């Protein structure tokens, strides 16, 4: 019989364990989103613009009442970056893989019976990732983490059960890099301080009530 023990988990360092837990939580969250959407007025959306920056994920938005909704966006991060080495460390390319989570609350000032209309969104920003260096430096695992907040203005349109969500605003975040490297800002500015953010999401809304609902 195979020996199923906890040794592989015990050997993980704290950052590796947190990243593994976040990936498990992402899969759990994805399944819960699918089950919730079938019983409540909920929108499931995929970003049409995030893949340009190496982020692939899904967001869920649940209607609380005519004026407010709440939800979260979870992205899997996978892209090639350039790390600038500090002191005598060599600058080099690396693959950055991890998870970004952005919980949010939305306010629809004109009311939203079907999650439809102009809105303002206040959210959080939390990220965790690891770097795989092209040329290992022998110093072990290198990780990145970030936390912050965002404020967006947007408009969401429900065309039957199809959802189009356009938004624009700003994100403030403070990130932590490996001690001997800093991610280059030439092509993909890291979420350090205040930066512009926006995009387009496409998706599907369940249990629509308005006149535009598909029968």
How many independent structural domains does the chain possess?
A: 1
Which secondary-structure segment (H or E) carries 129?
strand 117-133
Determine, yes or no, domain membership for 212. no
pLDDT confidence band for 182 (50 / 70 / 90): confident
Determine, yes or no, domain membership for 89. yes
Containing structural domain, residue 114: 7-205
Supply the CATH number for residue 116's domain. Answer: 2.40.160
Tokens matching residue 181: 């490297």
| Residue whose tokens read 């199809």 | 162
Question: Residue 66: left (phi > 0), alpha (psi -120 to 50), or beta?
Answer: alpha
Could you read off the pLDDT of 113-172 as tens digits, one per residue? 778 999 999 999 999 999 998 888 777 778 899 999 999 999 999 998 899 999 999 999
Is 183 in contact with 145 (CB distance < 8 Å)?
no
Q: What is the pTM of this model?
A: 0.73
Determine, yes or no, domain membership for 1. no
Determine, yes or no, domain membership for 53. yes
56 CB contacts (<8 Å, ≥6 apart)? 50, 75, 76, 78
Determine, yes or no, domain membership for 214. no
Residue 156 to residue 8: CA distance in whole angstroms? 45
More confident residue, 131 or 34: 131
Residue 26 to residue 59: CA distance in whole angstroms? 11
């Amino acid at each position: 019989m195979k020996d199923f023990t906890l040794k592989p988990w015990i050997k993980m360092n704290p950052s590796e364990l947190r990243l593994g837990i976040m990936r498990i939580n992402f899969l759990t969250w994805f399944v819960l989103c699918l089950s919730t959407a079938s019983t409540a007025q909920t929108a499931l959306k995929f970003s049409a613009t995030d893949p340009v920056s190496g982020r692939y994920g899904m967001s869920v938005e649940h209607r609380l009442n005519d004026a407010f909704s709440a939800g979260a966006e979870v992205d899997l991060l996978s892209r090639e970056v350039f790390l600038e080495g500090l002191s005598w460390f060599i600058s080099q390319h690396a693959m950055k893989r991890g998870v970004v989570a952005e919980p949010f609350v939305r306010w629809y000032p004109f009311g939203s019976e079907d999650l439809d209309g102009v809105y303002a969104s206040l959210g959080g920003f939390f990220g965790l990732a690891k770097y795989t260096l092209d040329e290992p430096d022998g110093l072990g695992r290198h990780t990145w983490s970030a936390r912050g907040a965002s404020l967006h203005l947007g408009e969401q349109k429900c065309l039957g059960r199809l959802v189009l969500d356009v938004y624009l605003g700003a994100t403030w975040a403070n990130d932590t890099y490996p001690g001997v490297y800093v991610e280059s800002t030439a092509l993909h500015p890291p979420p350090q301080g205040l930066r512009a953010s926006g995009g387009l999401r496409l998706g599907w809304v369940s249990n629509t009530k308005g006149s535009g609902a598909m029968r």
